[in-house]
Amino acid sequence: MKARNPGPGGLVYSTDGGRMCPACRRPVADCLCAAPAAAPRGDGIARVRRETQGRGGKAVTVIRGLALDADALAALGKRLRNACGAGGTVKDGVIEVQGDHVERVLAWLQQQGLSAKRAGG
């Protein structure tokens, strides 16, 4: 039994395959059109900035532009959070450290031999 969506997407669910991709009409597990693209590679220069927008007024130090794979980026993020004594996360190739630690992060990255510069205002 197959359920159909009256819109332009076509088949959305099949009892045989479960959820279906609207673009290629294959089960989502076998979908080829939504294959994850390669992670955006940085240029090797860490750009460190403080952001508050969209975070309820709380400051977050954001590090972008590092040309590292996901595992190395996660390990570097953990070491940075420990050095700052703060929490944070790594997502979509960006390291976020809670709080305003721009100067501390810049000094730490340069001490580790990485090229880093301040970005933003």
Is residue 95 predicted with pLDDT exceeding 90?
yes
Q: In the chain, how many domains are there?
A: 2
40 assigned to some structural domain: no
pTM of the model: 0.66
Residue 6 binned pLDDT confidence (cut-offs 50, 70, 90): very low
Is residue 12 predicted with pLDDT exceeding 80?
no
In terms of domains, do 28 and 80 share one?
no
Dist CA 14 CA 103 (whole Å): 54
Residue 70 binned pLDDT confidence (cut-offs 50, 70, 90): confident
For the record, the structure tokens of 7 come out as: 């819109």
In terms of domains, do 15 and 52 share one?
no
In terms of domains, do 98 and 67 share one?
yes
| Phi-psi group of 56: left, alpha or beta (phi > 0 → left; psi -120 to 50 → alpha; rest → beta) | left
41 assigned to some structural domain: no
Dist CA 38 CA 92 (whole Å): 11
In terms of domains, do 100 and 69 share one?
yes
Structural domain harbouring 28: 1-35
In terms of domains, do 57 and 85 share one?
yes
Dist CA 1 CA 14 (whole Å): 7
